[in-house]
Structure 1
Amino acid sequence: METLVAINRWLAKQHVVSWCVANRGELWCANAFYFYDAQRVAFYILSEDHTRHSQMTGLQAKVAGTVNGQPKTVALIRGVQFTGEIRRLEEGESEAPRAQYNRRFPVARMLSAPMWEIRLHELKFTDNTMGFGKKLHWLRDSGAQ
């Protein structure tokens, strides 16, 4: 669990996630501000249904993506690579994550875009501040929520 704690701590300090979705042989990537829920090990984002990535996702799809900082020094590089599943939340289940998202990004209160959950299945955290090329890995257990 120590690995996940370190990853969670870092993800809570970041704010932009990049993810890619595939559909019928086509790939597309997107970026969004996120709220990270350490208990569910999931990102929550807002995205309109008419966007290319939302259209390709449908109600649910597999995704892969990254969260990274922008250091100018190699020794300070930190970043997460992940796999997971993205799904559009139903109105009733999006209330709690939406409230947390709005607290983190108050301007979002003015947006009516649907909320999406990226539930993470695998995380790889590269943290050069712990030594060049240091990697921490996490996999969701089959019994996890």
Structure 2
Amino acid sequence: MKLPDVKIIKFIQQQHVLSLSVILAEHQPWTCNAFYVFDEENCCLYLLSELKTKHAQAMLKNPNVAGTISISPKSVAKIQGIQFSAKAELLTENQASHAYKLYYHAFPFARVMKAPIWSICLQEIKMTSNLMGFAHKTYWQRSEVL
């Protein structure tokens, strides 16, 4: 798998909150914010979410999700962010150990939650970074289809 551009990887690693959009069973959109940790090797984001949440129920029915990771600087010249599409998967006990290890290393306080862990496997990314010139875009797409 070809990894995203180093600028995209560095940006994702420097942040820790994403906005995730899903489609509810009633075909209505829903968005949540969540802490995440990035698994560079697998190009996935891991997040914790209880099964009773609207977004978890939606991801179980339709794993196609989209989201953003951004910062909100006061200066337009410093705007950076990514938009992504991904496949969400509730990790099984066998799959989850690596993801929990990364997540708890980044967020030790989360150990008390005991929530299921999800993989948000990135499929496509568009990064906008005004640090590299106004409205500069960098694109990445996963080469293999999941």
Q: Which residue of 2 aligns with 1:15?
A: 16
Q: Which residue of 2 aligns with 1:116?
A: 118
Q: Which residue of 2 aligns with 1:67?
A: 69
**TM-score, normalisation: structure 2:** 0.93
Question: What pairs up with 1:58-137 in 2 under 5 angstroms?
Answer: 58=60, 61-137=63-139
SS class of match (1:102): helix
Q: Which letter maps to 2:137?
A: K
How many residues align structurally? Answer: 144
SS class of match (2:51): coil
Structure 2, gaps ≥5 residues long: none
Question: What's the C-alpha RMSD, in Å, of the aligned pairs?
Answer: 1.6
Q: Contact 2:23–2:62 at 8 Å: present in 1 too?
A: no
Change (3 A) 1:100 1:2: closer
Q: Contact 1:46–1:113 at 8 Å: present in 2 too?
A: yes
Q: Which letter maps to 1:78?
A: Q
Distance in 1, Cα, partners of 2:27 & 2:111: 36
Distance in 2, Cα, partners of 1:2 & 1:16: 21
Change (3 A) 1:86 1:12: same
Question: Which stretch of structure 1 is more off in the superposition, 118-127 or 60-69?
Answer: 60-69
Q: 2:44 aligns with which of 38, 42, 51?
A: 42
Change (3 A) 1:70 1:102: same
**TM-score, normalisation: structure 1:** 0.93
1:68-88 deviation per Cα after TM superposition (whole angstroms, max 9, x unaligned): 012111000000000011110
Q: Which residue of 2 aligns with 1:54?
A: 56
Structure 1 stretches of at least 4 aligned residues deviating more than 6 Å after TM superposition: none
